[in-house]
Amino acid sequence: MEKLRATRIEKGEALRAAGANPYPYRFEVTHSVAAVREQEKALAEAGAHVRVAGRVMALRGHGKTAFGHIEDSSGRIQFYVKRDDVGDDVFRRFELVDLGDIAGIVGTVFRTRTDELTIKVESLELLSKSIRPLPEKWHGLTDKEIRYRQRYVDLAVNPEVREVFVKRSRLVETVRRFLLARGFLEVETPVLQPLYGGASARPFTTHHNALDMTLYLRIANELYLKRLLVGGFERVFEFSKDFRNEGIDRSHNPEFTMMECYAAYLDYMDYMDMMEAMVAEVARELTPNGQATFDGRTMDFTKPWKRLRFFDALREKTGVEFFGVAEKELAAHAKRLGVHVEKGAPASVIIDEVFSALVEPGLQEPTFIYDYPKELSPLAKDHRSVPGLVERFEGYIGGFEVCNAFSELNDPLEQRRRFEQQMENRARGDEEAQVLDEDFLRALEYGMPPAAGLGVGIDRLTMVFTDNHSIRDVILFPHMRPEDGR
RNA sequence: GCGCUGCUAGCUCAAUGGUAGAGCAUCUGACUCUUAAUCAGGUGGUUGAAGGUUCGAGUCCUUCGCGGCGCACCA
């Protein structure tokens, strides 16, 4: 390794000695690789000069001539250097170029005998000397640990990885455009919060020195967006990096991206339609026909999602009724179904466990589950006709949750009772019970319009549209333990 | 946290407990339409770390570190 580096550093020095800066400031690019391909005919006929810059990804020397490939973000193209064309000086400098260097080439386009579009180099400039060798050209970089830790290398040599993140960006852009077109206002709310709320999770804790106070990284931005509804913004949304101090696995990263949006005067059924339309638009943008293949299963997002009531889904899957059943009987159900539940767990927890274990994994096709038990949803409004339920839905794709929405609870007195119940749960040891937020209650007391809200897991939605099965593959720099000792 | 599994050259991978190897990359030489270029020759290793067993350890055992997969916790 040290030898490989030293050789490359020496080549950089040799270039410097020949009067060329191995790290110059600027290069005038006239064409991307894609543009050269698109405009080939006109460029060839005119004998026009193109100036292309990128990373040298292949080199094949033949003595007084050489072929290579240069790659920019739009693609890869062959170039051809011939000593008789470029002259001794340029050719000698070219010989100091290594695989992985960033270079700028100037030349004309032509087709080789094998009919490959090629740039005939007239001059060439090293734009950045690479002093670390890239992974091998054929197998590339496959070691997941290195791919995640050194994503820059992964991206540099694996174009399909770049494509994943291009898609992610287009997905975000599509969602943003969708919301803006419907009159939503994009806002920014605090990441550092004196109280954390809006979801059930343990937070990351930090400290503000000047104010000498504890602050939390947000686990959600829900309560702030609702305050904005009180303030008179009728439709708001935010792409929010949220932080949850919990385990890491295929579908959980400690920091992740959620899009939350709230609209006054709508209810959860309106939002179900909207979610469907939003994902359909994403599918149109990212796929040729509105269909995505995830884990070998083709999903057609031009069609409506399946819709199932929470307790209907449970009953269908287990053959047992869970609604309106006493705790003791629920525990017996769970045991019989082979779902492990802590002794003395409350009804809501038992139901949630059974649902997670038996129903969720089967929700492969895009499905909305709706009308949740009240105890699981302290921020959702009571169901308008069925006591014990709230107006809430979650969207599932590929067996995991991709969104969560409800008709928002806007009765300040009821919200206070729900918070108090949560605080009781907390006192009994539920570390994830939500914290009572007096300022949020004060806001509700001023009057929040009836509204519905939706949170969409952007990482997970990206997984669906890129057919990746680990959240690490859709996060550029996923969380890793430090690589000490290596 | 538990179970399984992996960690060998820059990368991708070999190596019954018995001399650490190959391909690519790299270096030297040849080569003016190649494309996983070709041909000839060379360099490159604290086998993740530390202990142990053994005449002898990449290989077996223990502990630790960092991944992957599954489970649990968790949404």
A346 touches strand B (CB under 7 A): no
A60 touches strand B (CB under 7 A): yes
The Cβ-side half-sphere exposure at A243, using a 13 Å CA radius, reads 14
What does R_g of chain A's alpha carbons equal in angstroms?
29
Residue A486 clears pLDDT 60, i.e. is over it: no
Residue A412 clears pLDDT 80, i.e. is over it: yes
pLDDT mean over A56-65 = 95
Residue A188 clears pLDDT 80, i.e. is over it: yes
Query: What percentage of chain A carries pLDDT values higher than 90?
Result: 78
Q: Which nucleotide is nearest to A139 (CA to C1')?
A: B12
A301 touches strand B (CB under 7 A): no
pLDDT mean over A328-341 = 83
User: What DSSP line would sit under A107-118, residue for residue?
Assistant: EEEEE-TT--EE
pLDDT mean over A155-169 = 95
pLDDT at A484: 63
Tell me the CA–C1' distance in angstroms for A116 and B24.
Answer: 24
Would you place residue A200 in the very low, low, confident or very high pLDDT band (cuts 50, 70, 90)?
confident
Residue nearest to nucleotide B71 (CA to C1'): A249
Candidate from A154-168, A427-441, A464-478 with smallest mean pLDDT: A427-441
Strands A65-72 and A75-82: antiparallel
Local structure of residue A10 (DSSP, 8 states): H
pLDDT at A326: 84
Residue A346 clears pLDDT 90, i.e. is over it: no
pLDDT mean over A309-319 = 91
CB atoms within 10 A of CB A413: 10
Local structure of residue A67 (DSSP, 8 states): E
Local structure of residue A472 (DSSP, 8 states): G
Residue A155 clears pLDDT 70, i.e. is over it: yes
Strands A117-128 and A213-217: unpaired
CA distance A40 to A28: 19
pLDDT at A278: 98
A234 touches strand B (CB under 7 A): no
Strand B bases within 7 angstroms of protein beta carbons: 1, 6, 9-13, 23-27, 30-38, 43-44, 48-49, 65-75
A176 burial via Cβ count (<10 Å: 0-12, 13-18, 19+): middle
pLDDT mean over A409-425 = 93
A142 touches strand B (CB under 7 A): yes
Residue nearest to nucleotide B12 (CA to C1'): A139
User: What DSSP line would sit under A81-107, residue for residue?
Assistant: EEHHHHHHHHHHHHTT--TT-EEEEEE
A145 touches strand B (CB under 7 A): yes
Would you place residue A99 in the very low, low, confident or very high pLDDT band (cuts 50, 70, 90)?
very high
User: What DSSP line would sit under A442-453, residue for residue?
Assistant: HHHHH---SEEE
pLDDT at A256: 94
pLDDT at A201: 87
Would you place residue A330 in the very low, low, confident or very high pLDDT band (cuts 50, 70, 90)?
confident
pLDDT at A485: 37
At A13, is the secondary structure helix, strand, or coil? helix
Would you place residue A202 in the very low, low, confident or very high pLDDT band (cuts 50, 70, 90)?
confident
pLDDT mean over A428-454 = 93
Q: Which nucleotide is nearest to A356 (CA to C1')?
A: B75
Candidate from A46-55, A203-212, A273-282, A428-437 with smallest mean pLDDT: A428-437
Local structure of residue A374 (DSSP, 8 states): G
Question: Under 8 Å CB-to-CB from A67, ≥6 apart: which residues?
Answer: A58, A59, A60, A78, A79, A80, A81, A118
Please choose, from the candidates A285, A278, A280, the residue with its C-alpha nearest in 3D space to the C-alpha of residue A300. Answer: A280
Tell me the CA–C1' distance in angstroms for A130 and B41.
Answer: 27
Residue nearest to nucleotide B29 (CA to C1'): A63
Candidate from A94-103, A160-169, A246-255 with smallest mean pLDDT: A246-255
User: What DSSP line would sit under A295-309, residue for residue?
Assistant: TTEEEETTSPPEEEE
Residue A427 clears pLDDT 50, i.e. is over it: yes
In DSSP terms, A69 is beta-bridged to A58, A78
Q: Where is A75: in which H helix or E strand?
A: strand A75-82
Residue A305 clears pLDDT 80, i.e. is over it: yes
Residue A358 clears pLDDT 90, i.e. is over it: no
Its pTM stands at: 0.93
For residue A145 the two structure tokens come to 């640990």
Question: Under 8 Å CB-to-CB from A155, ≥6 apart: which residues?
Answer: A161, A162, A165
Specify the higher pLDDT residue, A30 or A324. Answer: A30
Candidate from A226-235, A328-337, A340-349, A474-483 with smallest mean pLDDT: A340-349
ipTM of the complex: 0.90
pLDDT in tens, A246-292: 888 888 999 999 999 999 999 999 999 999 999 999 999 999 999 99
pLDDT in tens, A259-269: 999 999 999 99
- For residue A67, CA distances in Å to A11, A63, A117 come to 20, 11, 12
A209 touches strand B (CB under 7 A): no
pLDDT in tens, A360-377: 888 989 999 999 999 889
A370 burial via Cβ count (<10 Å: 0-12, 13-18, 19+): buried
pLDDT at A317: 87
Residue A164 clears pLDDT 90, i.e. is over it: yes
Q: Which nucleotide is nearest to A360 (CA to C1')?
A: B75
